[in-house]
Chains A and B, each alone.
Chain A
Amino acid sequence: MLRGSGERDLPIGWRDDVMSSELKDVRLSVIDERIKNVKNVIAVSSGKGGVGKSLVASALSLTLARRGYRVGLFDLDLTSPSTHIILDVGKSRPIEDRGIVPPRIHGISYMSITYYSEDKPTPLRGVDFSNALIELMAITRWGDLDFLIVDMPPGISDATLDIIRLIKRSKFLIVTTPSKLAFETVKKLIKLLSDLRVEIIGIVENMKIKESDFIKSNADKLGVKYLGGIEFDEGLEDALGDVEKFSKTEFFREVWRMAGELLRALASGAQ
């Protein structure tokens, strides 16, 4: 920062060319304010795409809401959002009130870029991705929540780094498939989060097609809690977009059970 003068009676100035980017970008200073009444922020993440993050995030949000918790679901997969399909958000829209207030969908406060992109392809390079994410975080007023579930895009690039930077108390829930290929990228995510001292609350193994302890044993080696395996559910595809049907699937029942474990783990961690 530039100090124009040390004299008490002369103006002291800060110019944009010397101002820190954090102060220049006014949005950053209200992100904490927007989530100050959110007790827990859980980022559902994976190194790999197609492992079921959005399904886990949607089911987890619904199970927590049905247990009586106040829940928000924030779809941050800005270029490939899908939770709006899973939950069939229909013609709901955010309310404009000194920012935007997420609509309530099936008992969940819900926010997605699709309210603005209308399902058009929205290609975003790194800086644009970050800007869109920061904008959404700065203008969305979540209110009082017990849980804000964040559906993350795959990988360890902008979204992961931004969430870690901007919501320092985020906890990560990791999703993988039984595949060695998926777990190879998940290992990198775990290493990154561990290096940055970000809490990992557990790992979910999705789409199991045979008995194997490959993921569990590796999770144990890495010191990450294995929350359980979900068998490949053939009925899941037909339940997408129908929340009542979705909540009767084996997949949903397993996520319900895991949510119970998560709640116990969070409660014991808070003591």
Chain B
Amino acid sequence: MHEWALAEALISTVTKVLKSERLGKILEIGVGIGELQDIDLEIFKFALMQLRPDYLKDAEFKFKIVKTRLRCRVCGHEWSPRKDELDEGVREAIHFIPEISHAYLRCPRCGSIDFDIIEGRGVWLEYVKGKR
């Protein structure tokens, strides 16, 4: 149900853009979704449909899924963790707080816990298209 909180955050942010730029209509909303957070896209879309106010009724949401990319700070190895390698409890913990991955993931080459999340965390607003 975390998807609902993120959908609410997205709607709230788009509303800020609408107000700050004095838009009459929003046509398209680009949303980035990091794979690490393991968002259920169907629930997320449903939440957006349920939460969107009237002024977003005609807006189209476009989603871009970004693959997780981690880089080890010790040996420089880059990798993408496979979801099926993690047990459900760990996946759920990372779903809520992607940085929890630092408690569970290790560099597959050198075993270090010291890595950076290069890409693929969270949900973000890519772009908004609208009319005044």
Contacts and interface: CB of A to CB of B under 8 A. Distances in A.
A34 B122 CA distance: 18
A132 B100 contact: yes
Contacts of A15: 126-127
11 contacts: A11-B129, A11-B130, A12-B23, A16-B127, A19-B125, A24-B125, A98-B5, A120-B103, A122-B103, A123-B114, A141-B5
Contact of B2 (A14, A29, A96, A117): A96
Interface string B4-29: 11101110110011000101000110
Contact of B113 (A98, A123, A132): A123
Contacts of A28: 13
Interface residues of B, number: 43
B32 A16 contact: yes
Ranked 8 nearest A-B pairs via Cβ:
A99-B5, A98-B4, A132-B99, A116-B93, A120-B103, A29-B12, A26-B9, A122-B103
A131 B100 CA distance: 10
Interface in B89-118: 93, 96-100, 102-104, 113-114, 116-117
Contacts of A8: 131-132
Interface residues of A, number: 44
A79 to B, nearest CB: 9
B27 A11 contact: yes
Nearest to A130: B99
A119 to B, nearest CB: 9
Interface string A121-147: 111110011011001101101000000
A120 B103 CA distance: 6
Given A29-B9, A131-B99, A98 B129 contact: no
Contact of A135 (B17, B98, B124): B98
Contacts of B30: 16
A26 B132 contact: no
A152 B26 CA distance: 40
Nearest to A135: B97
B95 to A, nearest CB: 9
A122 B97 CA distance: 12
B130 A117 contact: no
Contacts of A23: 13, 16-17, 125
B1 A98 contact: yes
A135 B123 CA distance: 10
A16 B126 contact: yes
Given A11-B130, A123-B113, A139-B5, A26 B123 contact: yes
A135 B99 contact: yes
Nearest to B93: A116
Contacts of B127: 13-16, 19
A131 B98 contact: yes
Nearest to A128: B99
Given A99-B1, A120-B104, A138-B5, A27 B122 contact: yes
Contact of B97 (A12, A13, A116, A141): A116
A96 B125 contact: no
A124 B100 CA distance: 9
B131 A96 contact: no
A98 B8 contact: yes
Contacts of A11: 27-28, 129-131
Contacts of A125: 116
B122 A135 contact: yes
B26 to A, nearest CB: 10
Contacts of B129: 11-14
A112 B18 CA distance: 35
A131 B124 contact: no
Given A16-B127, A23-B125, A117 B103 contact: yes
